[in-house]
């Protein structure tokens, strides 16, 4: 998979996730039910499917893709030097950084 293809899929997943979060925010603010306090939707089936396919495609056994999406919030919470492997800092802010990490030999 080329970087452009990977970027397209990751950015689309991010859009879908942000839309889900907006729906959850509306439900939380609606006060219709205490059931909506945490939102209605957590991680959805399509997020799991897409991340599993990408992990399989890149043989991402360390789950860098999941880490970048869920722990680093699509790279938003990355701080220089916060991710290290064997003592060496790994840049993981952008989609390109993630692609470089999972495609390295």
Q: State how far the Cα of 63 lies from the Cα of 56, in Å rounded to an integer.
A: 10
Query: What would the mean pLDDT of 79-101 be, rounded to a whole number?
Result: 94
The per-residue pLDDT for range 20-67, each reduced to its tens digit, is: 888 777 777 766 655 555 555 566 778 889 999 999 999 999 999 999
So what's the pLDDT on residue 33? 55
Give long-range contacts, CB 8 A cutoff, 24+ apart: 93-97: 95/6, 95/7, 95/10, 95/11, 96/3, 96/7
Contacts of 50 (CB under 8 A, 6+ apart): 9, 13
């Amino acid at each position: 998979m080329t970087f452009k293809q990977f970027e397209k899929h990751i950015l689309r997943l991010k859009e879908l996730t942000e839309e889900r979060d907006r729906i959850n925010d509306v439900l939380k603010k609606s006060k219709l039910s205490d059931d909506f306090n945490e939102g209605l939707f957590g991680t959805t089936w399509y997020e799991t499917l897409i991340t599993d396919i990408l992990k399989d495609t890149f043989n991402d056994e360390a789950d860098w893709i999941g880490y970048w999406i869920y722990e680093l919030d699509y790279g938003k919470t990355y701080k220089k030097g916060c991710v290290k492997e064997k003592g060496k800092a790994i840049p993981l802010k952008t989609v390109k950084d993630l692609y470089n990490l999972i495609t390295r030999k």
